[in-house]
Amino acid sequence: MIGGAAHPHARDQSAHRHLLREGVTGGGDAIVAAFVNAMGPISHDYANSLQAADYHAWLAAAGERVGIEDVLETMTALCRIYRGDVDPLFARAKQASEQIHGARFIALADNSHVRAFVRSGGIMPGVLNFLNEGQ
The percent of residues in the chain predicted with pLDDT above 70, rounded, is 94
Indicate whether this model's pTM tops 0.85.
no
Q: What is the pLDDT of residue 1?
A: 67
For residues 112 and 118, give the distance between their C-alpha atoms in angstroms, rounded to a whole number: 10
Confidence of residue 32 (pLDDT cuts 50, 70, 90): very high
Distant-in-sequence contacts of 69-72, Cβ < 8 A, 24+ apart: 69/8, 69/9, 69/96, 69/99, 71/8, 72/8, 72/96, 72/99, 72/100
Higher local confidence (pLDDT), 5 or 77: 77
- Beta-bridged to residue 3, according to DSSP, are 81
Q: Are 72 and 3 in contact (CB under 8 A)?
A: no
pLDDT band at 62 (very low <50, low <70, confident <90, very high): confident
Q: 130: left (phi > 0), else alpha (psi -120 to 50), else beta? A: alpha
Mean pLDDT calculated for residue range 9-17: 86
pLDDT at 30 over 90: yes
Q: How many CB atoms lie within 10 A of CB 20?
A: 22
Residue 35 confidence (pLDDT): 86
